[in-house]
Structure 1
Amino acid sequence: MSRCTRQVLLVNRGAHSSMAPNNTFVFGGNEVVHQLTKGKNSFLYVSITLVNGSRLYELYDRFSISNEGDKYRLFLAGDATGTLGDKMLNSGSSSYVLSGMYFTTYDRDNDRGGKNCAVDWRGGWWFNACYSAFLNGPWSTERWCCPWHPTVRDGTSIKETSLMIKRH
């Protein structure tokens, strides 16, 4: 489900369907994204398509992730523009800023929350304590709360999500 088009790499894509467990597709994992972004200036484009057909997006000016030894730490900087609202870099609360956060999974609790946010919210992500933006939640009505708060309040309104990177 991954593709390269005009030097844009689809890093993560989810669609509300029955195509795969949790309907999440990841291109090669965090190590591949690290190799592609290390020492390079890259954009991050976040897109959420709603069930009503409208598409919301946020473009981050600088994006990279570190290596496994640094727990795939997320780096975002520069401007964030779009229709989603910036919830990864300037979320309005230092407890939810995602830049500088390590990647947390079920078996690696690297977040600053009191519990393992990946277990509580059912998916890996760059959690702080825990989030105001989270695109790897379960595709179900009652379990995916506030994927991009407050713009998208629950997973029932989402048809598809995408994370894409492009070098400057």
Structure 2
Amino acid sequence: GWTLIQRRGDFGENSDFFYQPWDIYKAGFGNLSKEFWLGNEHIFALSNQKKSVLRIDLKDFEGHSRYAEYSGFVARSEVELFQMTYTTYKGDAGDSLDHHKGVPFSTKDMDNDNHKTHCSQRYKGGWWYNACHHADLNGVYFRGNTTEHATGVSWFHWKGHDYSLKTTEMKLRPLDFAPDIEIPK
């Protein structure tokens, strides 16, 4: 099945719970049943064992859901700054990760983005910021529409920059995963 690598939602954490330094993102943090980041070292290890698919499930405050799946998802090692890439997208959320493909990870104390400002400090999260983002699932947790432009838990191709999602989950599994199928006798 799926291995959960990230979860966001209203679990009582501070709204900026995901505004963490490099070493915390590297190791992982949170509670698996609440808000959670598996850790970049673990994501690297999982995505490099076999060809993987990343699934992202998104929910808004109005009860609507969307998903995005990325085949061939890989997070590189720390030497390569946990750079993220994938081969193909499918889903109904829109491909907001396209802007982040091939980009290293950035945190509040590690500015690896391609913008003159420090995207992680500006948007208060750790992510594969480019210049700066079309997706930021580790941004500040707001409730729906926000005047804090692009600062929330956002997926641009579905809700734009000024809407913060209610829940998100990111999960990995091997591309060749096939559930056990019981054949009737």
Residues 15 and 23, structure 1, Cα contact 8 Å, conserved in 2: no
1:143 is aligned to 2:143: no
> How many residues are treated as equivalent by the alignment?
153
Counterpart of 2:130 in structure 1 is 128
Indicate the SS of the match to 1:127. Answer: coil
**AA aligned opposite 2:96:** K
TM-score w.r.t. structure 1 length?
A: 0.83
Residues 138 and 144, structure 1, Cα contact 8 Å, conserved in 2: no
2: CA distance between counterparts of 1:37 and 1:126?
Answer: 16
Structure 1 consecutive aligned stretches of length 4 or more whose deviation exceeds 2 Å: 19-28, 140-146, 153-156
Aligned equivalent of 1:41, options 47, 51, 55? 51
**AA aligned opposite 1:51:** F
Range with greater deviation from structure 2 (120-129 or 25-34): 25-34
| Residue segments in structure 1 that go unaligned for 5+ positions in a row | 1-6, 90-96
Counterpart of 1:83 in structure 2 is 92
Alignment of 1:1-168 (within 5 A): 7-19=1-13, 22=16, 25-77=35-87, 79-89=88-98, 97-140=99-142, 141-143=146-148, 145=150, 147-153=154-160, 154-156=162-164, 158-168=165-175
- C-alpha root-mean-square deviation of aligned residues, in Å? 1.8
| Residue segments in structure 2 that go unaligned for 5+ positions in a row | 19-34, 176-185
Deviation at 1:17, TM superposition (A): 3.9
Percent identity, please: 27
2: CA distance between counterparts of 1:85 and 1:10?
Answer: 21
TM-score w.r.t. structure 2 length?
A: 0.76
Indicate the SS of the match to 1:151. Answer: helix
2: CA distance between counterparts of 1:26 and 1:67?
Answer: 20
1: CA distance between counterparts of 2:170 and 2:75?
Answer: 13
**AA aligned opposite 2:141:** W
**AA aligned opposite 1:159:** K
Residues 44 and 165, structure 1, Cα contact 8 Å, conserved in 2: yes
**AA aligned opposite 1:111:** D
2: CA distance between counterparts of 1:136 and 1:144?
Answer: 15
Larger radius of gyration: 2
2: CA distance between counterparts of 1:144 and 1:102?
Answer: 23
